[in-house]
Amino acid sequence: MLNDESVDADAYRNRPEWNDWTWQMQRCIRTANQLESWIKITPDERKAIDNIKGKYQWRITPYYASLMDPVDPRCPIRLQAVPAGAEMAPFPDAEVDPVGDTYYRKTNRIIHKYPDRALFLITSVCPVYCRHCTRKYHTSDLKGSYFGEAEGASFEQDYAYIESHTEIRDIILSGGDPLTYGDRRLEEILKRLRSIRHVEIIRVGSRYPVFLPMRITKEFCQMLSRYHPIWFQTHFNHPKEITQDAAAACDRLLSHGIPVQNQTVLLKGINDNIDAIRALMTGLQTIRVRPYYLFHCDNVAGVSHFMTTIAKGREIMRALLGYSTGFSSPKYVLTTRLGKIPLTEEYASSTDNGYRVTNYLGQTMDIRHV
């Protein structure tokens, strides 16, 4: 969508270009007038769109907009993508970077927090700017980002850091969203990383299967498969996002030998109930995507209104135990400057003679000599 003229959303969906990801990106929704073609905007949503100008970016792909409930402002898709007034409200102890990315930033793009792996922030651009983004400043602040230099600056300093740190065996491409780059540019990055002998694993972190599954083309998957072992980490937050298009995108990755795992954020008003989380996790199973992490929402400036309590997260995790198969239960963690902290409860406690264990129903028994 290249101007403020309204469009017929139904007609848009039926156009042959709908499945061309570049066509979708060129027509991303960036104004309230454009958004009105897809949903009935509330006064609060319109006010929020006006208020974040000059502070936070926003845009939505036509595909993701097509998943929104056109009349319900509490739609979980709308809440993730349409600006809200609470983004500009102060919140106790909220920080721009509570997880310590800037503290562990070693070059323009490299964050090295854990000994054997590093995060490679190759872009600050996303197809949709999540309203709950942990890197909201990096991806959304119109006045700057984590990058000390322009995004287009040379990558050589970043590659040199990886080359000089032989303990790094695992690189995660992130951003922004790496798939905003075209296949040719991504392949240049992958080829260079594969030339570094101690880099064993490359992971690609992307929400394109959720926001714009058309980006996951057969050609893209073939390109990725030339640089195995490649892992793909995506980010479904609600069962409504598991569409036929999203399932097909994940299947293309899997069919090319690329494992897909999911990282969900626990979000107030979106998925902070057992029905939504259980449907999400079992839905991911059906499309062969492994639930990996359930992140406790970080106290990020502009994001804090999405936070639940750890007690709520533990309640949900208890409700998953025993009612869903083991590999459909993610690890519940809180990301801090100290790293990822597991938030799961203990189900075995020591006694004088062994251990007392608790099952998913709360029943206990004592186990001796273990």
Q: Tens of pLDDT along 271-298?
A: 999 999 999 999 999 999 999 999 999 9
Summarize the confidence of residues 295-315 as an average pLDDT.
Answer: 96
**pLDDT level of residue 6 (50, 70, 90 thresholds):** low
Whether the per-residue pLDDT at 334 is higher than 60: the answer is yes
Q: What percent of the chain has pLDDT over 90?
A: 80
pLDDT tens, position by position, 156-178: 999 999 999 999 999 999 999 99
Whether the per-residue pLDDT at 231 is higher than 90: the answer is yes
Summarize the confidence of residues 203-227 as an average pLDDT.
Answer: 98
Q: What percent of the chain has pLDDT over 70?
A: 98
Summarize the confidence of residues 48-66 as an average pLDDT.
Answer: 95
**pLDDT level of residue 1 (50, 70, 90 thresholds):** very low
Q: How, if at all, do strands 364-368 and 110-114 pair? A: unpaired
Between CA 216 and CA 250 the distance in angstroms is 8
Question: How buried is residue 9: exposed, middle or buried, by Cβ count under 10 Å (0-12/13-18/19+)?
Answer: middle
Tell me which of 366 and 232 has the higher pLDDT: 232
Domains of the chain: 9-88 (no CATH), 110-342 (3.20.20.70)
Cα dist from 175 to 23, 112, 228, 253, whole Å: 22, 14, 21, 20
Q: What is the pLDDT of residue 2?
A: 40
Whether the per-residue pLDDT at 10 is higher than 80: the answer is no
Q: Are 272 and 312 in contact (CB under 8 A)?
A: yes
Q: What is the pLDDT of residue 309?
A: 95
Mean pLDDT of the chain: 93
Tell me which of 142 and 299 has the higher pLDDT: 299
Q: Are 245 and 279 in contact (CB under 8 A)?
A: no
**pLDDT level of residue 369 (50, 70, 90 thresholds):** low
